[in-house]
């Protein structure tokens, strides 16, 4: 009898030990504590660079830099590069892909249904992924953060800053689905306020100059949404507008820094950091990407470009009294 009791005691002890180990390992992705993460960024640009850096900093803070191998790739604005980059991530079986900008997200989504994908600097996920009646959760291996700003508030800035402007031109890239979404919303808002709105689209960087020239000549003020091609060609737009002076309201700070009067913008570093926190939860087994709702920037800031405001004789003291903050242009 004593021998049987001893055997039962040993079995019970082993069972308790196994249960304890199982509980300790819960949320650790089956005990895995080192990870490989692939980053695919559309192009070098101040906003996208900031988002990538925020993502990396969050991962390192949450998981420890020694536990994360980051493969950081940049497509340099060339769409064909995306397939090569994300295919390499899939072949290496990375633990997670961070797609910085809409084309990167679309390429990653097309490449894998298994590896978790988090987007950032993506305006509208339903539009980007072709999901009708999007509820905020994809139900797939994709989630992430959105850089969508309050479009009606941005459009209202045009009315507030340029009340006499009747003809508004919207300048954007026709190949970006998210840009089209923003254009439709802003156009409808301005037209409801009695403005005449005309859209001017370039297909890629090759026709930025002629399209911008036409837009400036036919408009009292221009609006440029959050648009990656426009962001990559912001200096070209600025140089073109030097010969056709027309004020611009922009969808984000990076473009405004080059060629805009003012913007209502998010902090892209913070957006990337939030994406990194989402990634850490996925990698630690604390959340499933398919169940994670898209997250949005919590704060927006009105900013102005002091140099360009001076060119148009805009009273910056009055702007600051309204809560605008100067962009550092040096």
Average pLDDT, the chain: 90
Whether 293 has a pLDDT exceeding 50, the answer reads: yes
107 and 241: one domain?
no
103 and 124: one domain?
yes
Average pLDDT over residues 67-84: 93
Opening angle at CA 78, ends 123 and 272, nearest 5 = 35
Residue 6 lies in a domain: no
For residue 262, what pLDDT is reported? 98
CATH of the domain at 201: 3.40.50.2300
133 and 161: one domain?
no
199 and 68: one domain?
no
168 and 258: one domain?
yes
User: What's the Cα-to-Cα distance from 114 to each of 159, 211, 231, rounded to whole Å?
Assistant: 47, 41, 32
CA–CA distance, 265 with 256 (Å, rounded to integer)? 9
Confidence bin at 204 (pLDDT 50/70/90): confident
For residue 175, what pLDDT is reported? 87
- Quote the tokens at residue 247: 């004020």
CA–CA distance, 109 with 106 (Å, rounded to integer)? 5
Half-sphere exposure of 258 (CA within 13 A, CB side): 20
258 and 155: one domain?
yes
Residue 30 lies in a domain: no
Residue 243 lies in a domain: yes
- Quote the tokens at residue 137: 């959760």
86 and 222: one domain?
no
Total domain count for the chain? 2
> Three-state SS for 22?
helix
Residue 2 lies in a domain: no
Whether 187 has a pLDDT exceeding 50, the answer reads: yes
- Quote the tokens at residue 12: 């019970």
pTM of the predicted protein model:
0.82
For residue 28, what pLDDT is reported? 37
CA–CA distance, 187 with 154 (Å, rounded to integer)? 11
81 and 102: one domain?
yes
210 and 274: one domain?
no
Residue 7 lies in a domain: no
Whether 4 has a pLDDT exceeding 60, the answer reads: no
Residue 15 lies in a domain: no
For residue 5, what pLDDT is reported? 40
Residue 102 lies in a domain: yes
For residue 177, what pLDDT is reported? 85
Q: What is the DSSP letter of 312?
A: T
Q: Tell me the percentage of the chain whose pLDDT exceeds 90.
A: 82
121 and 193: one domain?
no
112 and 169: one domain?
no
CA–CA distance, 234 with 320 (Å, rounded to integer)? 25
pLDDT digits (tens, 9 = 90+) for 237-279: 999 999 999 999 999 999 999 999 999 999 999 999 999 999 9
78 and 125: one domain?
yes
Average pLDDT over residues 64-72: 97
Residue 8 lies in a domain: no
CA–CA distance, 58 with 42 (Å, rounded to integer)? 20
Whether 232 has a pLDDT exceeding 50, the answer reads: yes
Domain encompassing residue 115: 35-147+268-296
């Amino acid at each position: 009898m004593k021998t049987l009791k001893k055997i039962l005691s040993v079995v019970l002890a082993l069972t308790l030990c196994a249960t304890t180990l199982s509980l300790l390992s819960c949320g650790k992705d089956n005990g895995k504590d080192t990870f490989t993460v692939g980053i695919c960024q559309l192009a070098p640009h101040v906003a996208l660079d900031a988002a990538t850096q925020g993502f990396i900093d969050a991962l390192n803070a949450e998981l420890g830099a020694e536990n994360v191998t980051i493969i950081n790739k940049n497509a340099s604005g060339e769409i064909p590069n995306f397939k090569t980059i994300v295919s390499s991530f899939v072949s290496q079986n990375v633990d997670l892909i961070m797609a910085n900008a809409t084309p990167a997200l679309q390429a990653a989504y097309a490449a894998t249904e298994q590896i978790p994908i988090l987007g950032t600097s993506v305006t509208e996920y339903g539009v980007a992924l072709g999901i009708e009646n999007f509820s905020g959760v994809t139900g797939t291996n994709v989630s992430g953060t959105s850089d969508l700003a309050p479009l009606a508030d941005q459009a209202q800035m045009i009315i507030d800053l340029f009340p006499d402007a009747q003809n508004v031109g919207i300048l954007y890239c026709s190949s970006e689905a998210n840009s089209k979404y923003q254009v439709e919303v802003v156009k409808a808002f301005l037209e409801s306020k009695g403005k005449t709105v005309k859209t001017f689209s370039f297909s890629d960087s090759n026709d930025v100059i002629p399209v911008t020239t036409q837009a400036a000549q036919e408009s009292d003020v221009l609006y440029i949404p959050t648009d990656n091609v426009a962001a990559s060609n912001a200096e070209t737009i600025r140089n073109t507008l030097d010969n056709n002076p027309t004020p611009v309201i922009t969808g984000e700070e990076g473009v405004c820094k080059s060629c805009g009067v003012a913007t209502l913008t998010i902090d892209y570093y913070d957006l990337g950091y939030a994406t990194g926190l989402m990634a850490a939860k996925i990698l630690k087994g604390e959340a499933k990407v398919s169940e994670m709702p898209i997250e949005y920037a919590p704060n927006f800031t009105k900013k102005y470009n002091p140099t360009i405001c001076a060119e148009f004789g805009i009273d910056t003291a009055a702007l600051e009294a309204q809560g605008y903050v100067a962009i550092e242009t040096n």
